[in-house]
Amino acid sequence: MPIASNDRSYASDDPRRTDAAGAGSASAAGATGEHGARRESRVAERVQAVPSSGIRRFFDIIASMDHVISLGVGEPDFVTPWPISEAGIRAIERGHTHYTSNLGLLELREAIASDLGRRYGVEWDPIEELLITTGVSEGLDLAARAIINPGDEVIVADPSYAAHAPAILLAGGAPVAVETSAAQGFALEPDRVEAAITNRSRALLLGYPSNPTGAVLDRPTLEALSEIAQRHDLLVISDEIYDRLVYGGAVHTPIASLPGMKERTITLGGFSKSHAMTGWRVAWAAAPADLFGGMLKIHQYAMMSAPTVAQHAALEAVRAGEEYVVSMREEYDRRRQLMWRGFNELGLSCAEPRGAFYAFPSVAQTGYDDETFAEQLLLREQVAVVPGSAFGAAGAGHVRACYATSYEEIEEALERIRRFLHSAPMAK
Ligand SMILES: Cc1ncc(COP(=O)(O)O)c(C=O)c1O
């Protein structure tokens, strides 16, 4: 589990440390530090403090099996729309194989700035406030490292994207989990956020539309969170990678567009999900100039610049990618309805997923915990879902199922789940 509900932080000797750290610990047993102190591990404590991924074990099992329908991996099944790929190919043909400016191609930053101005109603300066990053993954790391001092607390929803709490830990901070519930559609509740604030609170990390729950925060909730952030002088990191994927009348409101919020918000967005570009590794981060300066400092030493060919492809995505975004979203919506209704018909109660491409049904009715359910479903019917507890303690009793897979495969997966639920009881 990335985080446990009441954990304020992870101690460096936390038994939930990563396997990698554990291996390091064994091989370095008895190592002696610079000042003669006996060191337990050669891996830095900060890294040991990050718990191992709850998802990995399942992917190891899946890799060894045939005929698995995977609802596990969170990436589009579509390939990158051809004109976008072609722009990448053209970039190679024209010899655009060098570094770009640390900030990224100016043309791309300008195009993103005007796209965000239009869609978000927020004007970011493409020279002093907008950075091209190697995926939102890098943006998240930069944001966390740029603002967190040792021991600073950052509030995160539980459950949340598996990399959110680790990004805080790796930056030396302490994730503070605020529980969300199916009863509230997994929306982050402002009262609970307020109750989690201490004098060490530095920031609020939001990830909506949500991986893993599909929750979208409505405007009044975002306004209440904004008011809290301003009153307690919190910064906000807002991972809006699924901003284009909302359905059924849901509206995504960027928190930076609310009064007084642009000044205290780092917004992260990208192309991986909206344009089926996960492998290109290109995204953007928008931040007020001082925070942008901090992030740029880390980026220029750690990354230099985002992949050049991918930046050319991204430019085409911003300029001419809209029709593909719309048609992929329509298809996700069709699959979303099939999956969400399908789970409820099977008795696995599922709140309506309003964004991203995940459903998060409860499996509590089956009498089995989420890990057992996921493992047995995989072994017996070759359907892969991810146990909800991989996303935080409050995800227990649920599983995450991704509908970025074909309609037919989702139909077949639902049929296999039906068979699974009606077959002999699972061995506990
Ligand atoms: C919420 C969230 N943020 C960030 C990422 C990573 O995005 P990128 O491919 O841009 O690094 C993912 C990928 O699953 C995600 O779900």
* Ligand 1, atom 13: closest residue by C-alpha: 74
* Choice from 59, 132, 160, 211 to test ligand 1 binding pocket (greatest atom count within 8 A of CB): 211
How far, in Å, is the centroid of ligand 1 from the Cα of 277? 11
Residue 199 forms part of a structural domain: yes
Residue 27 forms part of a structural domain: no
Residue 20 forms part of a structural domain: no
Q: What is the pLDDT of residue 58?
A: 73
Residues 106 and 227 in one domain: yes
Residues 208 and 244 in one domain: yes
User: Is the pLDDT reported for residue 6 higher than 90?
Assistant: no
How far, in Å, is the centroid of ligand 1 from the Cα of 136? 6
Pocket of ligand 1 (CB under 6 A): 74, 135-137, 161, 207, 211, 239, 241, 270, 272, 278, 283
Residues 164 and 211 in one domain: yes
Longest CA–CA separation in the chain, Å: 64
Residue 15 forms part of a structural domain: no
Residues 100 and 224 in one domain: yes
Residue 158 pLDDT grade (very low, low, confident, very high; cuts 50, 70, 90): very high
CATH of the domain at 229: 3.40.640.10
Q: Which atom of ligand 1 is nearest to the CA of 271?
A: 10
Query: In Å, how far are 126, 144, 236 from 292, measured between CA atoms?
Result: 11, 12, 13
How far, in Å, is the centroid of ligand 1 from the Cα of 115? 20
* Choice from 161, 168, 186, 282 to test ligand 1 binding pocket (greatest atom count within 8 A of CB): 161
User: Is the pLDDT reported for residue 100 higher than 60?
Assistant: yes
Residues 317 and 215 in one domain: yes
Q: Which atom of ligand 1 is nearest to the CA of 74?
A: 14
User: Is the pLDDT reported for residue 204 higher than 70?
Assistant: yes
How far, in Å, is the centroid of ligand 1 from the Cα of 137? 6
Residues 218 and 125 in one domain: yes
How far, in Å, is the centroid of ligand 1 from the Cα of 209? 12
Say how many domains are in the chain: 2
Residue 10 forms part of a structural domain: no
Residues 311 and 332 in one domain: no
How far, in Å, is the centroid of ligand 1 from the Cα of 241? 6
Residues 197 and 180 in one domain: yes
Task: Provide mean pLDDT across the span 406-421.
Answer: 97
Q: Which atom of ligand 1 is nearest to the CA of 138?
A: 11
Residue 35 forms part of a structural domain: no
How far, in Å, is the centroid of ligand 1 from the Cα of 142? 14
* Ligand 1, atom 14: closest residue by C-alpha: 74
User: Is the pLDDT reported for residue 235 higher than 80?
Assistant: yes
pTM of the model: 0.90
Task: Provide mean pLDDT across the span 163-169.
Answer: 97
Averaged confidence pLDDT in the chain:
90
Residue 22 forms part of a structural domain: no
Q: Which atom of ligand 1 is nearest to the CA of 210?
A: 1
How far, in Å, is the centroid of ligand 1 from the Cα of 32? 39
| Residue range 299-333, pLDDT digits in tens | 999 999 999 999 999 999 999 999 999 999 999 99
Cα(155)–Cα(216) distance, rounded to whole angstroms? 18
Cα(8)–Cα(155) distance, rounded to whole angstroms? 10
* Ligand 1, atom 7: closest residue by C-alpha: 136
Residue 225 pLDDT grade (very low, low, confident, very high; cuts 50, 70, 90): very high
* Choice from 73, 240, 241 to test ligand 1 binding pocket (greatest atom count within 8 A of CB): 241
How far, in Å, is the centroid of ligand 1 from the Cα of 414? 26
Task: Provide mean pLDDT across the span 369-390.
Answer: 94
CATH of the domain at 343: 3.90.1150.10
Residue 53 pLDDT grade (very low, low, confident, very high; cuts 50, 70, 90): confident
Q: Tell which of 302, 321, 340 closes a domain.
A: 321
Min mean pLDDT across 180-194, 247-261, 396-410, 412-426 is at 412-426
User: Is the pLDDT reported for residue 129 higher than 80?
Assistant: yes
Residue 54 pLDDT grade (very low, low, confident, very high; cuts 50, 70, 90): low
The answer for residues whose C-beta is within 8 angstroms of residue 108's C-beta and 6 or more apart is: 132, 311, 314, 315, 318
Q: Tell which of 263, 298, 321 closes a domain.
A: 321
Residues 264 and 298 in one domain: yes
Residues 150 and 228 in one domain: yes
Residue 281 forms part of a structural domain: yes
The parent domain of residue 218 ranges over 83-321
Residues 70 and 219 in one domain: no
Task: Provide mean pLDDT across the span 220-247.
Answer: 98
Residue 36 pLDDT grade (very low, low, confident, very high; cuts 50, 70, 90): low
Residues 352 and 410 in one domain: yes
User: Is the pLDDT reported for residue 425 higher than 90?
Assistant: no
Q: What is the pLDDT of residue 23?
A: 36
What letter represents residue 296's amino acid? L
Q: Tell which of 321, 338, 357 closes a domain.
A: 321
